[in-house]
């Protein structure tokens, strides 16, 4: 495809929209977009937001946009939605909560459909974010639904990762903590006007305190918000600012940037290697073997070996 | 390692435990266990259970075990837990709810730690299930926490997949539906004594009715349970039986078995191909490139091409 690089760099909406569609729909592993954009990357601040469905992430994002807009920052939001293979469309359900920002030219909200392509999703999200970065957006927010590994991968490819929970999450924090503790720079207890908010806050804080504090390492924070009531947003933004300053002071923005490009190159190389590996001949061998009626004599390990020869 | 195949086939607990430890700890892609077990597989009924944390999956599993034990079926439970890289251990939080079955020799409960190995988790879970299958367990339950892609992959590698929700999930079903609708053979609204249970049931039913019914295709069902109060279990078990009969009548047990072995072979081949690809020389090339201070002249796509040459 023809990428309108100048249009993207000038932040023309049409050029951005076209490039995003290219990223979302291309099934090949074309890196021409990456190569074009690369010299223009590294200026945006990337924030990942994840948490269980119903935690109020969209309302919170709405408040964050409001805050950044009041400071004249331009904001892009990439919502990663689970997509059904049989409908093909992204779930736009609670995007309406951010609706009031759609008319604002300083805000760009885009849903990315996952279309079941596990491996590709994190890559595509990065590509989309790169477009916004090159287009001069100051802030790029990735929003993911769920707390699974792919969701964490996506959120974790950010400079700052927020994990949004609700007071009722208290009981479940134990189960979730392992995955979440690793990635969260900041926990948000949203809907904090509901019962149990302080208890949930204490639970998370005591879990965080169990970690051995490491020098030069960010200590995750916990804040309470009621995004619908616009409460707690300034406290949240203060912590975000503190984390940004920490990242700058420790050269971590640069390091994150390098890690992202490293991972992108590695993923592309691996996917291309596998594409090349699976010749139709090899696919056929495997398919034929499994068409047999009596599989009891099959030795799967031997099949692997012979496919690798 | 020496696999005590006879011990496994005789369902000796020590032999099973050792084989499970091998599966959990081996970092290589040894398929000797698979080859040994393969002729003895295909008899167990595999059930996957997933859903958001706090939905009461463990209590439900407890009730299902109770039911199957009353019919003299032997049951193995594999709990897939998110694991923290810094603690290294599996979260055993609500396993206690199944505790009363630990002493029962007809029940084997095992937690599998994910230890951050995204790709390998589904494979390891299958390997563990194969051990129980060969050992003559009638039912193998996979329980996963969360609703992310990896969790779905694990749950989906079963003959029957249950998605457990709570009445409060109502608001969130919209967001989750895409991923869940694809995999669920059966939705369980647990904690149905709480408010909103009927509403959640209706919501799911109307979503299911939007699908075009396909001939010879199972139509997912919805049931309500209160596992802690032991309510609704028999209704749930009736649907499970109906699904089992459907699978038998349509040859799908056999097809699931073939799909699992196909996926296992494919995964092993791909992982070995990538292991072979990443020679230390190629790793070095990539690492060196990213050590440069000025990356602005970098062309990631060109690096990919040169790594593939």
Rounded to whole angstroms, how far apart are CA atoms A33 and A51? 31
B171 to A54: CB separation less than 8 angstroms, yes or no: yes
Mean pLDDT, rounded, for B281-288: 90
Rounded to whole angstroms, how far apart are CA atoms A183 and A156? 6
Predicted pLDDT at B15:
95
Q: Are residues A107 and A168 in the same domain?
A: yes
Question: Is residue A188 within 8 Å of A155, Cβ to Cβ?
Answer: no
Mean pLDDT, rounded, for A22-32: 76
* C-alpha B39: how far from chain center: 22
- Residue for token pair 């296992």: B264
CATH of residue B72: 3.40.50.300
Predicted pLDDT at B167:
86
Q: Are residues B253 and B296 in the same domain?
A: no
- Residue for token pair 């505790």: B99
A297 to chain B: closest CA residue? B39
Rounded to whole angstroms, how far apart are CA atoms A72 and A176? 36
- Structural domains counted in chain A: 2
B31 to A150: CB separation less than 8 angstroms, yes or no: no
Per-residue pLDDT tens digits for B19-32: 998 888 776 567 88
> Bigger pLDDT: B246 or A167?
B246
CB atoms within 10 A of CB B112: 23
Predicted pLDDT at B89:
34
B149 to A150: CB separation less than 8 angstroms, yes or no: yes
- Residue for token pair 């408040």: A63
Beta carbons within 8 Å of B10's beta carbon, 6+ residues apart: B135
Q: Are residues A256 and A301 in the same domain?
A: no
CB atoms within 10 A of CB B41: 18
- Residue for token pair 């909406």: A13
* C-alpha A211: how far from chain center: 25
Q: Are residues B286 and B165 in the same domain?
A: no
- Prediction pTM value: 0.79
Per-residue pLDDT tens digits for B68-87: 999 999 999 998 765 433 33
- Transcribe chain A into DSSP letters: ----HHHHHTT-HHHHHHHHHHHHH--S---HHHHHHGGG-S-SEEEEEEB-TTS-HHHHHHHHHHHHHHTT--EEEEEEE---TTT-SPP-GGGGGGGGGTT-TTEEEEEEE-TT-HHHHHHHHHHHHHHHHHTT-SEEEEEE-B-SHHHHHHHHTSSEEEEEE-GGGHHHHHHHHHHHHHH-SEEEE-STTSTTHHHHHHHHHHHHHTSPP-TTS---EEEE-BGGGTBSHHHHHHHHHHHHHHHHHTTHHHHHHHHHHHHHHHHHHHHHHHHHH--HHHHHHHHHHHH-S--TT--HHHHHHHHH-
Q: Are residues B246 and B288 in the same domain?
A: no
Which residue of B91, B273, B304 is in closest CB contact with A265? B304
Rounded to a whole number of angstroms, the distance between the first and last alpha carbons of chain A is 37
Question: Is residue A94 within 8 Å of A58, Cβ to Cβ?
Answer: yes
Predicted pLDDT at A32:
85
- Of the candidate ranges B112-116, B209-213, B303-307, the one whose mean pLDDT is the lowest: B112-116
Q: Are residues A156 and A187 in the same domain?
A: yes
Minimal CA–CA distance to B185: which of B50, B279, B15? B50
B270 to A272: CB separation less than 8 angstroms, yes or no: no
Question: Is residue A60 within 8 Å of A232, Cβ to Cβ?
Answer: no
Residues in chain B closer than 8 A to A269 (CB atoms):
277, 304, 307-308
Predicted pLDDT at B217:
87
- The Cα of A236 is separated from the nearest Cα of chain B by a number of Å equal to 24
Question: Is residue A189 within 8 Å of A225, Cβ to Cβ?
Answer: yes
Give the CA distances from residue B49 to residues A167, B152, B164, B185, in Å, rounded to whole numbers and listed in that order.
Answer: 25, 9, 7, 10
A296 to B39: CB separation less than 8 angstroms, yes or no: yes
Q: Are residues B300 and B253 in the same domain?
A: no
B149 to A152: CB separation less than 8 angstroms, yes or no: no
A261 to B298: CB separation less than 8 angstroms, yes or no: yes
Rounded to whole angstroms, how far apart are CA atoms A58 and A162? 13
| pLDDT band at B147; cut points 50, 70, 90 | low
- The Cα of A270 is separated from the nearest Cα of chain B by a number of Å equal to 7
Q: Are residues A127 and A147 in the same domain?
A: yes
Mean pLDDT across chain A: 83
Rounded to whole angstroms, how far apart are CA atoms A14 and A207? 47
Rounded to whole angstroms, how far apart are CA atoms B224 and A264? 45
Q: Are residues A148 and A289 in the same domain?
A: no
Mean pLDDT: which of A63-72, A292-301, B147-156, B283-292 is highest? A63-72
What ipTM was assigned to the predicted interfaces of this complex?
Answer: 0.79
Rounded to whole angstroms, how far apart are CA atoms B67 and B196? 27
Rounded to whole angstroms, how far apart are CA atoms A40 and A14? 19
Q: Are residues B94 and B143 in the same domain?
A: yes
* C-alpha B243: how far from chain center: 18
A294 to chain B: closest CA residue? B39
Q: Are residues B228 and B296 in the same domain?
A: no
Residues in chain B closer than 8 A to A145 (CB atoms):
175-176
For chain B, what's the residue count? 309
Predicted pLDDT at A93:
42
Domain that holds residue A71: 5-270
B174 to A307: CB separation less than 8 angstroms, yes or no: no
- The Cα of B144 is separated from the nearest Cα of chain A by a number of Å equal to 10
B34 to A94: CB separation less than 8 angstroms, yes or no: no
Rounded to the nearest 5°, which phi and psi values hold at B38? -50, -45
Predicted pLDDT at A184:
87
Both tokens of residue A158? Answer: 């950010």
| pLDDT band at A204; cut points 50, 70, 90 | confident
Which residue of A52, A182, A264 is in closest CB contact with B84? A182
Reduced to 3 states (helix: H, G, I; strand: E, B; else coil), residue B110 is strand
Residues in chain A closer than 8 A to B298 (CB atoms):
38, 261
| pLDDT band at B204; cut points 50, 70, 90 | confident
- The Cα of B241 is separated from the nearest Cα of chain A by a number of Å equal to 26
Both tokens of residue A265? Answer: 């190159």
Residues in chain A closer than 8 A to B35 (CB atoms):
299-302
Burial class (CB in 10 A: 0-12, 13-18, 19+), A262: middle
Which residue of A35, A269, A308 is in closest CB contact with B307? A269
Residues in chain A closer than 8 A to B182 (CB atoms):
84-86
H-run or E-run covering B46: strand B45-50
Q: Are residues A179 and A300 in the same domain?
A: no
- Of the candidate ranges A151-165, A221-235, A259-273, the one whose mean pLDDT is the lowest: A151-165
Residues in chain B closer than 8 A to A148 (CB atoms):
146-152
Q: What is the DSSP letter of B146?
A: B
Residues in chain A closer than 8 A to B118 (CB atoms):
149, 153
Mark out the alpha helices in chain B (DSSP H runs): 5-9, 13-25, 32-37, 57-70, 118-134, 149-156, 170-183, 197-209, 233-249, 252-277, 280-291, 300-308
Per-residue pLDDT tens digits for B233-278: 999 999 999 999 999 999 999 989 998 898 889 888 998 999 999 9
Residues in chain A closer than 8 A to B257 (CB atoms):
295
- The Cα of B15 is separated from the nearest Cα of chain A by a number of Å equal to 21
| pLDDT band at B175; cut points 50, 70, 90 | low
A286 to chain B: closest CA residue? B262
A53 to chain B: closest CA residue? B172
Chain B interface, best mutation among A290, A300, A307, A308, by max B CB count within 10 A? A300
* Exposure string over A186-202, b if 16+ CB within 10 A, otherwise e: bbbbbbbeeebbeebbe
A258 to B290: CB separation less than 8 angstroms, yes or no: yes
């Amino acid at each position: 495809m023809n990428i309108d690089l100048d249009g993207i760099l000038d932040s023309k909406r049409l050029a951005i929209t076209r490039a995003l569609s290219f990223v979302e729909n291309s099934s090949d592993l074309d890196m021409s977009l990456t190569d074009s954009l690369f010299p223009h990357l590294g200026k945006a601040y990337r924030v990942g937001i994840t948490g269980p469905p119903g935690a109020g992430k969209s309302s919170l994002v709405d408040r964050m946009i409001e805050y950044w807009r009041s400071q004249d920052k331009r904001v892009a939001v990439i919502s990663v939605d689970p997509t059904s293979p049989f409908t093909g469309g992204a779930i736009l359900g609670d995007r309406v909560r951010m609706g009031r920002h759609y008319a604002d030219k300083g805000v760009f909200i885009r849903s990315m459909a996952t279309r079941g392509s596990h491996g590709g999703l994190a890559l595509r999200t990065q590509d989309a974010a790169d477009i916004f970065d090159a287009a001069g957006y100051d802030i790029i927010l990735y929003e993911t639904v769920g707390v699974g590994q792919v969701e964490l991968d996506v959120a974790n490819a950010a400079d700052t990762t927020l994990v949004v929970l609700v007071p009722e999450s208290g009981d479940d924090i134990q189960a979730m903590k392992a995955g979440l503790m690793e990635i969260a720079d900041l926990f948000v207890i949203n809907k904090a006007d509901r019962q149990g908010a302080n208890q949930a806050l204490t639970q998370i804080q005591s879990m965080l305190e169990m970690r051995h504090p490491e020098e030069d390492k960010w200590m995750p924070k916990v804040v309470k918000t009621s995004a619908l009531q616009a409460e707690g947003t300034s406290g949240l933004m203060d912590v975000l600012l503190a984390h940004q300053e920490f990242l700058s002071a420790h050269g971590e923005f640069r390091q994150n940037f390098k890690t992202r490009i490293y991972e992108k190159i590695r993923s592309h190389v691996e996917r291309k290697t596998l594409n090349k590996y699976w010749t139709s001949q090899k696919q056929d061998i495997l398919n034929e073997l499994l068409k047999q009626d009596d599989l009891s004599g099959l030795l799967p390990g031997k099949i692997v070996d012979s496919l690798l020869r």
